[in-house]
Structure 1
Amino acid sequence: MIPLELLNKLRRIKIRTSHLADDMLSGQYHTAFKGRGVEFEEVRPYHVGDDVRSIDWNVTARYGEPYVKLFREERELTVMLLVDLSPSQGLGTHYQTKRELVTELGATLAFSAIKNNDKVGLNLFTDGIEKVVPPGKGSRHVMRLILELMYCNPMGSGTDIKAALEHLNRTVKRRSIVFLVSDFQDDSYEKTLRIATRKHDVIPVVVGDQRELEIPNVGLVELRDAESGQIVTLDTSSRRHRALYAEHAKRVGEKRDALFTKLKMDPIHIQTGDDFVDPLRKFFHKREARR
């Protein structure tokens, strides 16, 4: 039986994210992603302004007046959420951790998918595959995904994006929309990511926290890597040390984003403490404009 506190938290996330999917993002989601193709639906009389290339000449000859063909999009898509659950996702120096932010984002994407009659599945990973939920439809299915995003207890202690993508490439045969959600604290995945982009529409979602980009002046501190366990003592009162920290973070981010550019991908950048709706909306607008 699910504890009352968990149920209340689950309801709050459902209400917020379902509302976002309904009122703000559902239409944009629909137009941002193409269906698998188009199929013939019916013919109707030609109206001024119709594309003359859609005229059905056989029907036109039969009735002695112009008729046009109408087509509809084959809509059903599969959306896969490929989500990093490594220990670094527990960082959060604002009112939420990266994992909490990812849970809300994943729930919003999942509700947007099912409201457009698409299927949505979930793969959780660290340095191994932690949990796989096959694609499905319906609100109950989305609630299961949210529960896994919130409370799956990962066994791994690192990040292996390459292994997660290899598993995706082996197990998901049908072309899918893949949201790869991670802080990308890994650098061995370029080749596998390139292969995945040939099979699927892969969208990187970069999840960050301000303290990963800059560190405040708080004196002598010990920093522990959440994944390797390595401890480093840093004098944050030193301008030079703070500058080196920020410069390293900048180089890592530029290298990652250069790879996305090379592979012609559209990354979404979100940060703890910020609203993810605006970056998501901008992404959908960009996709819609491209279509």
Structure 2
Amino acid sequence: MRPEVTQRIRRLELTARRVVEGFLSGMHRSPYFGQSIEFLQHRQYHTGDEIRHIDWKVYARQDRLHIKQYEEETNLRLTLLVDRSASMSYGDGESNKFDFSASIAASLAYLALRQKDACGLVTFDTAVRDTVPAKSNQQQLVRILSMLEQIGADGPTDLVKVAKQVGQALPRRGLIIIISDLLGVDSLVEGLRVLRARGHDVALFHVLHDDEIDFPFNGATRFEGLESDDLLNCNPRALREGYLAALDEFLASTRKACGRLSIDYIQVRTSEPLDALLAKFLSHRVSLPKLRR
């Protein structure tokens, strides 16, 4: 692996660690994606397990250490679906949509693996492009970060086709988190419905650049399509009101569609601090009693 790639992977890992550990330090309990309080079974204690989960009554009877397991702790598999289509290349530096999305994915992966849950990665545009199968071992974070750092954003998007491919490839029910700008995505509802119909819990991080939300452009401007060859020369001040109205309508319809399908919808600005974003998402999920069917 090239030294510059290794350095980027290390930087992404440090970002994820800083975000997650900073978030956890402010919590009074572990922010599981969907921790269940429904007891399922015991398993033998292993070095590194949290002492608070030891069943001391069993120890008193059998003189052996056992851990209480709950339903969610035995079946939670997190799959991160990261959009790598061309529109995700917008933005410079830390505000680049794909790089910001990679940081979100890295933080969620770090947290899931820290909890000893299985985590995998899928990148997509018109089809599934790269896959890291869900695992919970120590090397999994390196595999996920390596994949995120070695790809770029290019091509159009087809979420329906991707959802069908992912649904067929994931026979076990789990949590799927989609990270996308949703630009160029036709039939969004159909794609989300495919995943929900297969019993998966789904969350959507809708990532948008500040420019796309605020439309701050002034003076003669040339807009170029990232997923098409379209060009538009115009005075953006004449378009701003109509653009913002259309954007509000799009965001409202997306939120309503997610609500109807019981999908967590999180709108994200690329200027938003990652730890605040993680807190917003997980503070809600920690209140869920179990994986939603």
TM-score interval for Structure 1 and Structure 2 normalised by the shorter chain: 0.7 to 0.9
- Tell me whether 1:275 sits opposite 2:269 in the alignment: no
Distance in 1 between the 2:110 and 2:137 partners?
9
Counterpart residue number, 1:87:
86
Does the 8 A contact of 2:80 with 2:176 survive in 1? yes
Alignment of 1:145-184 (within 5 A): 145-153=144-152, 157-184=155-182
Distance in 2 between the 1:145 and 1:287 partners?
23
Can you give the 5+ residue segments of structure 2 that lack an aligned partner in the other structure? Answer: 44-66
**For the structure 1 residues 132 and 113, does the alpha-carbon distance in structure 2 shift closer, same or farther, using more than 3 Å as the test?**
same
Distance in 1 between the 2:148 and 2:36 partners?
27
Q: Deviations over 1:137-160 (max 9, x none)?
A: 234321221121122246x61111
Distance in 2 between the 1:124 and 1:36 partners?
33
- 1:14 alignment partner, SS class: helix
Counterpart residue number, 2:15:
16
Does the 8 A contact of 2:34 with 2:288 survive in 1? no
Instruction: Give, in angstroms, the shift of residue 278 of structure 1.
Output: 1.3
Does the 8 A contact of 1:86 with 1:157 survive in 2? yes
Distance in 2 between the 1:235 and 1:146 partners?
41
Q: How large is the RMSD of aligned CA atoms in angstroms?
A: 2.7
More contact order relative to length (CA 8 Å, sep ≥ 6): 2
Counterpart residue number, 2:227:
227
Could you state the TM-score of these two structures normalised by the residue count of structure 1?
0.81
Greater Cα offset, 87-96 or 76-85 = 87-96
Distance in 1 between the 2:270 and 2:221 partners?
22
Structure whose CA Rg is larger: 1
**For the structure 1 residues 37 and 225, does the alpha-carbon distance in structure 2 shift closer, same or farther, using more than 3 Å as the test?**
farther
Alignment of 1:122-133 (within 5 A): 122-133=121-132
**For the structure 1 residues 138 and 20, does the alpha-carbon distance in structure 2 shift closer, same or farther, using more than 3 Å as the test?**
farther
Distance in 2 between the 1:73 and 1:85 partners?
35
Does the 8 A contact of 1:25 with 1:112 survive in 2? no
**For the structure 1 residues 29 and 258, does the alpha-carbon distance in structure 2 shift closer, same or farther, using more than 3 Å as the test?**
farther
**For the structure 1 residues 182 and 197, does the alpha-carbon distance in structure 2 shift closer, same or farther, using more than 3 Å as the test?**
same
Percent same amino acid at aligned positions? 22
Distance in 1 between the 2:211 and 2:276 partners?
21
Could you state the TM-score of these two structures normalised by the residue count of structure 2?
0.81
| Aligned with residue 253 of structure 1, among 251, 254, 276 | 251
